[in-house]
Amino acid sequence: MKIAIASDHAGFAYKQRITAMLREAGHEVRDFGAHSEESVDYPLFIAPAAEAVGAGVCERGIVLGGSGNGEQITANKVRGVRCALCWSVETARLARRHNDANMISIGQRTVPVELALEIVRTWLVEEFDGERHTPRVQEIAGLESRVAAGPIAGFPVHEKTLLIRPEYLNHHGTVFGGYMMKWADDMAFNSASLSLPGCEFVTRCFGAFDFTSAVRSGDIVKVYARVESVGTSSCGVAVWCLDAVTRASVFRTTAVMVNVGPDGKKAPIPR
């Protein structure tokens, strides 16, 4: 089985133990980090693991933290993921049998390591009961679809596919961040202009760039953008980039685009 695994610094030690156990059992494990016990922001590592499960690149996923709560919350933001917080063998068993959980979250500070290993073993071998539980899991999927078709459904996702060439690389052999920022700026402009025709947009600002996965020469990435909010004279655009093969997150950010009139000043967005 192909299994995604990720943690924050507080779950790192258990991640290492669980990864070793899974590989000894013959599973293929993809480790999304963190890579040490140095303090990190867990969504940067949990989200790519959950995205791999949601996209079908990995069959199952395991995330770990101090309590496991934040990691579970993050994973469940990804469409197609059903992540259960497990603190006992029984919760792991029911997560599979009743909820068809394709991910679990474990808190390193809440259970002994041997229990954590047994939770994982139980969750891997249990099967979904189906029957009365099937409609409930289907209703969860339906809820995801309704949420996805919410207030921003009128604005499409725009995408661009890029082949990483050697000239994009820095001295470390990975893509120079400036190129990613340029791609994000281009996609934010294109998305705003195509979604709100008749406007002349300029970039006002970008939020933080969350770089999560390095890309190298020969990799193929997809950059996506979508208008998520519209104000009087500006709009907010979400921009994100995924590895086209693994679906791992490369970066995420948001842009504010302002409509400029013929006089060079901000102008109302036509409704």
Nearest to 192 by CA among 220, 229, 161, 163: 229
236 located within any domain: yes
The band of 154, judged by pLDDT with boundaries at 50, 70 and 90, is low
Residue pLDDT, tens place only, 69-120: 999 999 998 888 999 999 999 999 999 999 999 999 999 999 999 999 999 9
Residue pLDDT, tens place only, 205-243: 998 887 888 889 999 999 999 998 898 899 999 999 988
Q: What is the C-alpha separation between 215 and 242, in angstroms, rounded? A: 10
In percent, how much of the chain has pLDDT > 70? 95
Q: What is the C-alpha separation between 66 and 79, in angstroms, rounded? A: 24
Is 98 part of the annotated catalytic residue set?
A: yes
In this predicted structure, what is the pLDDT of residue 137? 79
270 located within any domain: no
- From 98, 118, 126, 228, active-site residue: 98
- The CATH number covering residue 60 comes to 3.40.1400.10
Residues 6+ apart with CB under 8 A from 176: 168, 169, 170
Q: Are residues 101 and 175 part of one domain? A: no
The band of 133, judged by pLDDT with boundaries at 50, 70 and 90, is confident
- The CATH number covering residue 254 comes to 3.10.129.10
Cα separation values, 239 from 190, 196, 228, 254, Å: 11, 16, 10, 6
269 located within any domain: no
Residue 190, pLDDT above cutoff 60: yes
166 located within any domain: yes
Q: What's the DSSP call for residue 127?
A: -
Is 167 part of the annotated catalytic residue set?
A: no
Question: Of 148, 171, 198, which one is at a domain's C-terminal end?
Answer: 148
**Count of domains observed in the chain:** 2
Q: What is the C-alpha separation between 229 and 211, in angstroms, rounded? A: 23
Question: Of 130, 148, 166, which one is at a domain's C-terminal end?
Answer: 148
Calculate mean pLDDT across residues 138-157: 63
Q: What is the pTM of this model?
A: 0.57
Q: Are residues 93 and 179 part of one domain? A: no
In this predicted structure, what is the pLDDT of residue 248? 79
In this predicted structure, what is the pLDDT of residue 205? 93
Q: What's the DSSP call for residue 247?
A: -
Question: Of 148, 183, 211, which one is at a domain's C-terminal end?
Answer: 148
66 located within any domain: yes
15 located within any domain: yes
Count of other CB atoms within 10 angstroms of residue 98: 16
Write out the residue range of the structural domain in which residue 68 sits. Answer: 2-148
213 located within any domain: yes
Q: Are residues 27 and 91 part of one domain? A: yes
268 located within any domain: no
